[in-house]
Structure 1
Amino acid sequence: MRFERVAKRYAVGEQGPDAPAAVDELTLDVRAHEVLVLVGPSGCGKSTTLRMVNRLVEPTAGRVLLEGEDVSTVDPVELRRRIGYVIQNVGLFPHRTVAQNVATVPRLLAWDKARTRTRVNELLELVGLAPDRYAKRYPHELSGGERQRVGVARALATDPPVLLMDEPFGAVDPVGRRRLQDEFQRIQRELGTTVMLVTHDIDEAVRMADRVAVLSTGAHLEQLAPPLEIVANPATPAVADLVGRGRTARLLSLGRLERADVTAPPPANQDGGTAGVRLGDELAEVLDALTRDSAQALPVRDGDAVIGSVDAEGVLRALRRLGVVEEPATRP
């Protein structure tokens, strides 16, 4: 997808066409097969930006391109059948079963019954809902997380090249939300779908994204970068304010144990068994392991080989490498 100087203005009272823009000349590329997350404060234009892709909102100026084609030249009904769309409250048809909800677009496209049934069963398996248990249930018989999974399955029914997600996990409890995020990441890796996701939650953004687009009022692009860079090196005060005080904790989850953080030799009395951590583990996992085992240091493995050890100082060095902890002052 590509946004070329896209703008959206709404007439407000007597201000007319000079009203402040909800989206003000946004230029942005979404790469094939990536998860791009739009994050920012309420009212910054992130949902408006998303909805201009499937023409639920029409731009005032500029162009939105999907696979090189200007979406304004495509029939909106046909366009929406090519684009998956998932919203916070799912929007399942209450009088239809799970299977019938998932089959909505295939039926509109006149797929035969056998092909539709096969695809529905594949998708229910994909989102972790066994067809024999869930296909004949109705939405009111499902939990919030289960309904959200059905919504994802319905959006993926015809293998759309693009999936739009607007606060998709916002109505789910924190534990269910984390599970849904994990499940969705697994599905996206398996299918390689290009995803644009809107959230107001910076933790969800850095957890889910390949790249994060931080927006301010008018969909002004404050920073576009991988999650680690957003957290470690905020480009503007607005980004720093959004990242907030949880910066170190987020970097522990984003950062990985590297060879530069490992010391040699391995801790004494280690036999190369299962205890320890691995090169590439999250720094948060390394710190948890040190705390859980009350260990001064733990062996580090690369494959089957023990290559050295890591201690709390190694985790601190990693945070310094990421730029979140300053080097200690040198004594005169």
Structure 2
Amino acid sequence: MRAVTVPGVDDEWAIRFEHAAKTYAAGSSSRRDAPAAVDELTLDVRTGEVLVLVGPSGCGKSTTLRMVNRLVEPTGGRVLVEGRDVATLDVVELRRRIGYVIQNVGLFPHRTVAQNVATVPRLLGWDRTRTRARVAELLELVGLAPDRYARRYPHALSGGERQRVGVARALATDPPVLLMDEPFGAVDPVGRRRLQDEFARIQRELGTTVMLVTHDIDEAVRMADRVAVMSLGGHVEQLAAPLEIVAHPATPAVADLVGRGRVARLLALGRLSPDDVDAHGTAAPDAPVVHVGDELGEVLDTLASDGVTAVAVHHDGALVGTVTSTAVLAALRRLVAAPAPADVPGR
């Protein structure tokens, strides 16, 4: 995990919005008489976390994201990255230090994969040896073998492969902050899930601070350490861990966003705990095995798919008992019934 090194800066956060606002001029061609796109937003993004902004179209989430790298200039308040007000920084240097990934990637079509990934290192004057090594390292990191992909052009790649190249390019100079605006929206559902898993692995490995925008609540709860549910004007309806968002929506707007898929999302977020295990239970010798820490949805799916009443549960390589579908549903009820934490920001 990257540490903030600016003297006097609280290293608990990497990005801070202090009453940040964006208002478009009344009568402008694109936003005639529009209210504030973002109004007095105060929000911290913790160092090393994935914070996901989710909400309906037009709620200001992309505007909020783009104020960090000044693709959108704030009209009020401040945005700080690693303790420095972005308005005081040279905009070109700022953008070179912040990774940025968008839905349609924006690769240069006339450049090879390797040349695309090397864009920022070359702008910064890296020598060829260092650049070539970094490109190879990043292509390996995103699951694209350099010997197969480095010389290809974007038109020869699938949508998912182009998106991986976009992530590699954004990470080329090991930026302290990575901004992602609907990064997987143009990829098919199967490829999207695979990319989400791959990106989660990369983020855990690198510890990069990530701010991600999506309209998809499933993507938000799957990807995030914390979720900020936004409404019109960039107002934060609730800021909390994914499980808290789904189990305890703070406002009707959050409850509406979570919607009718709430149980399925809780099954994906909840984990099998030792309390769910019957230490004295027995299962058939050939019964399938699950593990403490598995998703409740995976455990329930195993029970349903194999048509058994109980499955064996292992923990640290040892058999610790069994679990039944009744126990899984009881665990789900506990998630819903548990009191909401009193100190969750944004409540």
Bin the TM-score by the shorter chain: over 0.9
Worse overlay, 275-284 or 230-239: 275-284
1:207-235 residue CA offsets vs partner (Å, 9 max, x unmatched): 00000000000010000000000000000
Which residue of 298, 318, 323 maps to 1:285?
A: 298
Q: Which amino acid aligns with 2:106?
A: G
The percent of aligned pairs where both chains have the same amino acid is: 78
- Cα distance in 2 between the residues matched to 1:212 and 1:269: 41
Correspondence for 1:205: 220
2:174 corresponds to 1:159: yes
CA distance in 1 between counterparts of 2:287 and 2:138 reads 36
Check if 1:303 corresponds to 2:316. Answer: yes
Whole-angstrom distance in 2 between the partners of 1:165 and 1:90: 10
Q: For 2:143 and 2:223, locate their aligned partners in 1 and report how far apart those are by CA, in whole Å.
A: 19
- Residues matched between the structures, number: 323
Query: Which residue of 11, 23, 41 corresponds with 1:9?
Result: 23
Q: Distance in 1 between matches of 2:148 and 2:263?
A: 43
Deviation at 1:178, TM superposition (A): 0.5
The answer to whether residue 205 in structure 2 is matched with residue 186 in structure 1 is no
1:234 equivalent to 2:249? Answer yes
Residue 115 of structure 1: SS of its match in structure 2? helix
Equivalent position SS for 2:37: strand
CA deviation map 1:113-153 (0-9, x unaligned): 00000000000000000111100000000000000000000
The residue aligned with 1:133 is: 148
Does the CA-based 8 Å contact 1:2-1:65 persist in structure 2? yes
What stretches of structure 2 of length at least 5 have no aligned partner?
1-14, 339-347
Contact 1:266 1:300 in 2 (8 A): no
Q: Greater shift after overlay, 172-181 or 300-309?
A: 300-309
**Counterpart among 181, 184, 188 of residue 173 in structure 1:** 188
Identify the residue that residue 328 of structure 1 maps to in structure 2: none
Deviation at 1:275, TM superposition (A): 3.1
The one-letter amino acid of 1:294's match is: G
Superposed displacement of residue 309, structure 1: 1.2
Return the offset for 1:17.
11
Partner residue, 1:67: 82
SS in 1 for 2:95: helix
- The letter for the 2-side match of 1:11 is A
Instruction: Note the C-alpha offset of 1:264.
Output: 3.0
> In structure 1, how many angstroms separate the alpha carbons of the residues matched to 2:175 and 2:66?
16
Q: Deviations over 1:179-209 (max 9, x none)?
A: 1001100100110000000000000000000
Deviation at 1:268, TM superposition (A): 4.5
Query: SS at the partner of 2:53?
Result: strand
5 Å-filtered alignment, 1:267-286, equals 267-270=282-285, 275-286=288-299
Correspondence for 2:343: none
What secondary structure does 1:323 align onto? helix
Distance 1:161 1:254 in 2: 28
What are the within-5 Å matches in structure 2 for residues 28-43 of structure 1? 28-43=43-58
Q: Deviations over 1:256-293 (max 9, x none)?
A: 011221123131443xx883211111001100110122
Which stretch shifts more, 18-27 or 34-43? 18-27
RMSD: 1.7
Between the aligned partners of 2:310 and 2:97, the Cα distance in structure 1 is 53
1:266–1:307 CA contact under 8 A, matched in 2: no
Letter aligned with residue 290 of structure 1: L
303-312 or 158-167: which moved more? 303-312
Give the distance between the partners of 1:318 and 1:159, measured in 2 at CA: 41
Is the CA contact (8 Å cut-off) linking 1:266 and 1:298 kept in structure 2? no
d(CA) in 1 for partners of 2:93, 2:53: 25
The answer (yes or no) to whether the contact 1:166–1:197 under 8 Å persists in 2 is yes
Runs of 4+ in 1 over 4 A off after TM superposition: 16-19
Q: Report if aligned partners of 1:248, 1:324 keep a CA contact under 8 Å in 2.
A: no
Q: State the match for 1:98 in structure 2.
A: 113
Secondary structure of the corresponding residue to residue 44 of structure 1: coil
Unaligned runs of 5+ residues in structure 1 are: 326-332
Alignment pair present for 1:119 and 2:134: yes
For residue 317 of structure 1, the aligned residue among 308, 318, 330 is 330
One-letter code of the match for 1:20? P
Output the CA distance in 1 between the equivalents of 2:287 and 2:130.
47
Residues 289 and 312, structure 2, Cα contact 8 Å, conserved in 1:
yes
